[in-house]
Structure 1
Amino acid sequence: MAGARLVVSGDTGLAHLAFAYARPSVTLYGPVSPRLWGPPADRRHRVIWHGTGVRPGDPHGRSPDRRLLLIGPREVLDAAAADVAVR
């Protein structure tokens, strides 16, 4: 993780390690708003979330949160490419 050029993950322990190591990241958020557990304000970190407000869903639910399912591959690839362009 410490040497990663870019970390793409859901809002899990991997994302938080990327934040701690100050590695560039693209993090996908679903049930919990990035306002609650998102990365520090830093241009190296990109957040993708299709929610409103901060009312969380169930991060331990039996099925993926609907906000997470709205994130498409193109959006993730575009965020990753934008991150690479910044460096």
Structure 2
Amino acid sequence: MNKSPQAYWSATLRLISIVLVVWFIVSYLAGIILAPALNSIHLGGYPLGFWFAHQGSMYVFVALIFYYAYAMDKIDREFDVHEE
């Protein structure tokens, strides 16, 4: 694999793009745009659209933080720029 700084930056930007797209889908689409359609499904007694808008997007955001840290560590190790 190409170990150039451009390849490292490309891998980093790809990861950031994926995380931001997932965050956008969960917080904006599921929480706002698709909320009326999702409200027909209930989660813990609350409509799913309401749940995504008020709690689900925060849970997904925290999960994305852990995923980003794990994936970025993997990229850093692949390009040998990690810290011990």
After TM superposition, the score normalised by the length of structure 1 is 0.30
Relative contact order (C-alpha < 8 Å, sep 6+): which is higher?
A: 2
Q: Which has the higher helix share?
A: 2
Based on CA coordinates, which of the two structures has the bigger radius of gyration? 2
Provide the TM-score with structure 2 as the length reference.
0.31
